[in-house]
Structure 1
């Protein structure tokens, strides 16, 4: 097996990234969100959404993929922090998913490290992210990578079920 590598996502990656995202949701959020919602997620619909985003790219949002042996095994997306409709000077990790069949190979750590490196290189002082409050596995992952909760919480609802999110932050000025 070859080493993992990270590169920018291409249009041709949209289907694979959609599959990783949908399976990631179905795996990570089982028991945290209503199962009918997770069961209804569609790789085809998500792939169309990714293709649409590519046609509207403004250069601020960066999509990265992790590869091993030519296969995309993970995806991360970051850009300016969103405070409602406003974008701030901070960066935000919008998403990070690894194919559930590939957990434990280091793809998530590699994607996160590259996203953080790029945010620091772009001059951002902090990276923020939102994670489901009850997603303890993800919270431990981010904490091991130097992120910490900052006390902010957001209500989030899926099909009538409350699934609140907590915000994590990592200072990049050290």
Structure 2
């Protein structure tokens, strides 16, 4: 199995080559520096969640298309086998479960928020929806100007083209599944 850094680099380079973009053009559409993009493609840099979202949004591809290898028709995903993409000093951990599939138009992640985590998510394209299903602890989401608190068994759906944050205000780990739907 390839390291996550190498997989991200290969996926990014493949998308860039298919589109015929130079690194300068890729930097222009994503807002990420040419140097950082080159480091990511070579597998020399481990990009943050926000950097990956900037790249995905700029290229208009799913987040998971940048981090996952393709799989067979039957997939069993085990959390302990997944390597997280981290952010906020590793307090925010995203485990890619099922990458974007154009025929299904969604992707699924498991997210763990360690105590004290506060993560601002990148806005997505118009029409993109997020579905969050809480599995443990308490996760506080702010969508636009409204704040919602989710505990195990709770869920929320929202238009993701607005500012949204994920926060763990407790002393325990909180977790949730996140399904992102692309119309």
Name whichever structure is richer in helix by fraction: 1
Query: Considering the TM-score relative to the shorter chain, is it more than 0.5?
Result: no
Normalised by the size of structure 2, how large is the TM-score? 0.36
Normalised by the size of structure 1, how large is the TM-score? 0.37
